[in-house]
Homo-oligomer: A and B are copies of this chain.
Amino acid sequence: MESREISRAVIKRLPRYYRYLGDLLDEKVDRISSNELSQKMHVTASQIRQDLNNFGGFGQQGYGYNVAFLHKEIGKILGLDVVHSMIIIGAGNLGQALANYGGFDRKGFRLEGIFDVNPDLKGKPVQDLKIQMVNSLPAFLKKNPVEIAILTLPRGSAQEMADILVQNGIRAIWNFAHVDLDTPENVIVENVHLSESLMTLSYNLSSRNPD
Contact = CB atoms under 8 A, between A and B. Distances in A.
Contacts of A109: 198, 202
The A contact surface, by secondary structure, is helix
Interface residues of A, number: 56
Copies in the complex: 2
Interface in A74-92: 77-80, 82, 84, 92
A197 B190 contact: yes
Given A94-B97, A174-B198, A180-B42, A79 B205 contact: yes
A194 interface: yes
Given A15-B200, A80-B202, A104-B195, 8 more contacts: A11-B200, A14-B199, A93-B93, A94-B97, A97-B97, A172-B204, A174-B198, A192-B194
Contact of A205 (B15, B16, B103, B171): B171
